[in-house]
Copies of this chain bind each other. A is one copy, B any other.
């Protein structure tokens, strides 16, 4: 019902999940689904589904549930997936190259438009299906490709500098895979994807202390 956007990250992540669930239901030719149906099918919480969705309008039909197609369309649009987002990969090592191939594969909302690196042996070649450009041309690459999102996959030692460069170049959102905590600043969105932390979370929980 509300129109202002103070949606939490947690809610946002769930919207993304809901959309994926709906896509699956669409493949099964279903027409409507109740919050309870979604919940049991995909191990979610029905109340939470209703709360999350109600933030953006009254989609549901009481006594019936949600119409899958319109709801999926609305989520698609809400998440900004109705236009193509150009992405650059910063650091075309193995991980960067793998992600370049991974993102945008079978997807028409995201496109990896370039990689950048500072290793001369990689520059001006194709890797992972994208052209690799010189890191020192970053600003030009961003301008040229209108990239909004950067995936940061450089070694830890280079992460802070690269991050600063990305800000200067006008990137608006960064997914950081380097195990270095960067700080969100200005209007820039930052998401830390920290494999090391995830593994350490596991090992703590595997045999908890005392």
Contacts and interface: CB of A to CB of B under 8 A. Distances in A.
A17 B197 contact: yes
Given A198-B191, A203-B81, A204-B78, A3 B181 contact: no
Contacts of A148: 206
Oligomeric state, in number of copies?
A: 2
Interface in A96-122: 97-99, 101-103, 109-110
A188 B189 CA distance: 32
Interface residues of A, number: 63
Interface string A4-15: 010101001101
A149 B199 contact: yes
Nearest to A175: B198
A85 interface: yes
A79 B204 contact: yes
Nearest to A102: B95
A173 B205 CA distance: 9
Contacts of A173: 202, 205-206
A184 to B, nearest CB: 9
Given A12-B201, A175-B199, A197-B17, A206 B80 contact: yes
Chain A to chain B: the 8 pairs with minimum beta-carbon distance, closest first: A80-B203, A5-B208, A94-B98, A98-B98, A173-B202, A16-B197, A43-B183, A16-B200
Given A9-B201, A16-B196, 9 more contacts: A12-B204, A16-B197, A42-B181, A80-B206, A94-B101, A97-B98, A175-B198, A191-B201, A193-B195
